[in-house]
Amino acid sequence: MNDNSEHIEILVKLGLTTLQARMYLTILTLQKAGVGKISIVSDIARPDVYRVLPMLEKIGLVRKVIVTPIMYEATPLKEGCQILLNLKKSELEETEQRSIELIKTFDEKIHRSNCDEGNESFWLINSKMLLIEKISLVESTAKKSIDVIGKWGAIRALIFNNTDIYQQAINQGVKIRFITDNPKPNDKFIEKLTKKSGPLFELRFLEEQLPIRGAIYDGLTANMCVRTIQDQELTPSLWSNNLEFVNLLLSYFDRLWTQTKKI
């Protein structure tokens, strides 16, 4: 692969088409040139040059110099690459946001469908990212209660990341309870939580090893990690709206709650 081909490949990875990359590199090399010179040096037909130049101008890689005849000069390569990187970043952020909205819309649609039809089902989530999104969704739509059992590291991250969700839930009268293992006494995050504790938010610990990891939402939906308890991973996670499964976990949670100590 020659240098020019390698440069074109990099620019294509940054978001340009092959034609746009060739033309941008040509104008960079010429520093300033008219359409005819650009066409000859880049070996690109004049109609294509006329078609692609406005695209490069719009991106900010090329600017028109108002002289007679009209000339074009390129944005310096360092600035040009930064422009392309920023565009890529914006595109990625937009795609990420749209994917989150897609997951939420799809989950809500499935949830409504199951509720409308009275269906009870079990489903397994193996993706950590999808699990986090699912947890955020069900917690943000909880109406009465959120009951969670988990290791302190996971609980700490969950509370930290979903602070706004929990505050909104508390404001709406949702009761939130956490059961965890004994956290480190010098953890300053504990001090912040104890100030927030009250009738609608309570964090307790179990002196013995946690028997399970899971959560129950409104007494209607529940999940349980079906991975070895010694493992820190949260997936695979078994979810269900089967009332027997939900009531079983809720009853077990309430029994553990009586054995816990306040932090």
Q: What is the predicted pLDDT for the residue at 81? A: 93
Domain count, the chain: 2
Point out the least confidently predicted range of 32-46, 102-116, 154-168, 227-241: 102-116
What pLDDT was estimated at residue 228? 73
Contacts of 102 (CB under 8 A, 6+ apart): none
Residue 37 lies in a domain: yes
CATH code of the domain containing 127: 3.30.870.10
Q: Are residues 82 and 126 in the same domain?
A: no
What pLDDT is stored for residue 2 in this prediction?
46
Q: Which residue has the higher pLDDT, 175 or 153?
A: 175
Integer Cα distance of 170 and 167 in angstroms: 5
Is 147 a domain residue?
yes
For residue 97, pLDDT beyond 70: yes
Same domain, 52 and 158: no
Q: What pTM does this model have?
A: 0.57
Q: Domain containing 47 — which CATH number?
A: 1.10.10.10
Q: Is the model's pLDDT at 41 over the cut of 60? A: yes
Do 76 and 130 belong together in one domain?
no
In this structure, are 48 and 142 located in the same domain?
A: no
**pLDDT tens-digit series, residues 157-204:** 888 888 889 889 988 999 999 999 877 767 777 777 666 667 788 889
Output the average pLDDT for the chain. 86
Domain around 9: 3-86
Task: Show which of 43, 62, 86 is a domain's final residue.
Answer: 86
| Claim to verify: residue 206 and residue 136 sit in the same structural domain | yes
What string of DSSP letters covers 206-235? ESSPPS--EEEETTTEEEEE-S-TTS----
What are the structure tokens assigned to 208, written together? 């013995």
